Structures are given as structure tokens and as C-alpha cells.
């Protein structure tokens, strides 16, 4: 049986959904104020007909808690920080649809350097 070719997604968007219990010293990407960000992202993808070519994915901690809420857009290794619904809307329009990362929402370089090269 031959399987039909299914195209690869153009983008994967990993949205941190980590929440810490009350009283924990580590900040959370999911708080009362940011609880609906993933749903907003997914609804925006559906409204714009992007679901499929763009895959929003709930993930646990992405390791940049002090800059949260955060999401990682691949390919390109673009980490967006201090998210809001308005920022997500602009990221979708300019980066996902327009092809231009939104520089002012990217995590500062001192917190997000080059990836570690694992090839010896």
C-alpha cells in the first residue's frame, strides 16, 4: 500500500506551558495573566488557515523562565519572550506569514547565544 506524501510543516512553534506551584522561587510561563496564550496562538493559526503548515506545540520548560512567557519558533531557533496576545499576533503576521522575525520581541543575545556544537 502506497502512502500519500504529506508535506513537512513550515514552522514548529514550541510554547512553554510550564507552571510552578504557588510559592516556588522559579517564575512560570503560565500564570493567571498568560494562561490563554497557547489557545490564542492555536486559534489564530486556525483563523488564518495556517494549521498544518504551522504546528503549535505545548512544551514544558524551555529554560528561560525569567524571560517568560516564551516560545521557540523553528526553523531558525528564534526565542520570543515576555509574550502577550498582541505580541503573538504580530509574530504570526510578520514572522510566520511575512518571513521576518520580530526583532524587538526576541530574547536578548546575552540570554540566548549560539547553540552548543555537539559534534566533536
The residue ranking higher by pLDDT, 55 or 30, is: 55
Residue 44 in any domain: the answer is: yes
Residue 85 in any domain: the answer is: yes
The residue ranking higher by pLDDT, 8 or 73, is: 73
Residue 118 in any domain: the answer is: no
- Residue labelled with grid coordinates 505545548: 58
Percentage helix, strand, coil, to 5, in the chain? 30, 20, 55
Residue 119 in any domain: the answer is: no
Mean pLDDT on 16-33? 77
pLDDT tens-place string over residues 81-107 = 999 999 999 999 999 999 999 999 999
Residue 5 in any domain: the answer is: no
CATH of the domain at 29: 3.40.30.10
pTM flag (> 0.75): yes
Provide the residue range defining the domain that includes 86.
11-111
Residue 21 in any domain: the answer is: yes
Question: All 3 cell numbers of residue 110?
Answer: 546575552
Structurally, how many domains does the chain consist of?
1
Residue 98 in any domain: the answer is: yes
Residue 52 in any domain: the answer is: yes
The 8 Å CB, 24+ separation contacts for 94-102 are: 96/11, 96/13, 96/50, 96/54, 97/48, 97/50, 101/73, 101/76
DSSP letters along 4-58, please?
PP-PPPSEEEEEE---PPTT-SS--S--TTTTTHHHHHHHHHHHTT-BTTEEEEE
- Whether residue 23 is predicted with pLDDT greater than 80 in this model: the reply is no
Amino acid at each position: 500500500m502506497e502512502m500519500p506524501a504529506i508535506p513537512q510543516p513550515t514552522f514548529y512553534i514550541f510554547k512553554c506551558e510550564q507552571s510552578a506551584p504557588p510559592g516556588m522561587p522559579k517564575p512560570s510561563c503560565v500564570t493567571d495573566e498568560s494562561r490563554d496564550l497557547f489557545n490564542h496562538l492555536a486559534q489564530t493559526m486556525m483563523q488564518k488557515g495556517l494549521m498544518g503548515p504551522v504546528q503549535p506545540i505545548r512544551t514544558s520548560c524551555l529554560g528561560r523562565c525569567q524571560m517568560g512567557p516564551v516560545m521557540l519558533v523553528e526553523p531558525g531557533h528564534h526565542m520570543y519572550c515576555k509574550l502577550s496576545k498582541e505580541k503573538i499576533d504580530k509574530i504570526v503576521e510578520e514572522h510566520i506569514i511575512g518571513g521576518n522575525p520580530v526583532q524587538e520581541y526576541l530574547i536578548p543575545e546575552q540570554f540566548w547565544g549560539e547553540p552548543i556544537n555537539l559534534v566533536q
